Chain A
Amino acid sequence: EDQVTQSPEALRLQEGESSSLNCSYTVSGLRGLFWYRQDPGKGPEFLFTLYSAGEEKEKERLKATLTKKESFLHITAPKPEDSATYLCAVQYFGNEKLTFGTGTRLTIIP
């Protein structure tokens, strides 16, 4: 059974305090790993797709990295507007569906 585990469940940071969110997945057959941001009352917003170990992608204060068994979302010098739930999802070869983790709820305190 496909497994996606995100940690921590919740994270509170002071503005400017950098940190990382983790997403671990079942190892074999990964086609792609996706990161989304979800604000309260809204649909998930696409951030990144990573396809192979060693790949990195950046957007503003966010950088996503991928290894053979996990992905990290690094947040550098976050601002209050970065507060949201961050979801990761995986897609495996042979099945086009996305399997989502339960998310990390990030709160940035001014």
Chain B
Amino acid sequence: DAGVIQSPRHEVTEMGQEVTLRCKPISGHNSLFWYRQTMMRGLELLIYFNNNVPIDDSGMPEDRFSAKMPNASFSTLKIQPSEPRDSAVYFCASSSRGGAYEQYFGPGTRLTVT
């Protein structure tokens, strides 16, 4: 299995630009999670989906952030407009039993907003 796939691996953009991060979960997994990791706040859950439906988006910082999961094999996290404080590593993870069990993480996208 290829594991969770994320793209791009690195993204550098200017403040005010739109950023789209992409994730392909492990085939057969029905839950998908988006996390953000910073030195100050550690690893934080932003949003998660079960069977392509958003279940908990309470971790999404503000309206500039949005996430979609149009099908079982693809999800996007969009930031519009981006700000320097959004600079972080964004991880996608998937699990096979509704999130009650272990989650498998992708390699992450390192986002730098200048």
Chain A residues with a Cβ under 8 A of chain B: 31-32, 34, 36, 42-46, 49, 87, 91, 95-103
Contact = CB atoms under 8 A, between A and B. Distances in A.
Main SS of chain A's interface residues? strand
Given A49-B101, A49-B102, A97 B107 contact: no
B42 A98 contact: no
Contact of B103 (A95, A98, A99, A102): A98
Main SS of chain B's interface residues? strand
Interface of B: 4, 31, 33, 42-45, 48, 50, 55-56, 59, 91, 93, 98-108
B43 A97 contact: no
20 contacts: A31-B100, A34-B102, A34-B103, A43-B4, A43-B93, A43-B106, A43-B108, A44-B105, A46-B103, A46-B105, A91-B99, A91-B100, A96-B31, A96-B50, A96-B99, A96-B100, A97-B56, A97-B99, A99-B45, A101-B42
Contact of A102 (B42, B45, B48, B55): B42
Contacts of A46: 102-105
B34 to A, nearest CB: 11
A100 B42 contact: yes
A96 B42 contact: no
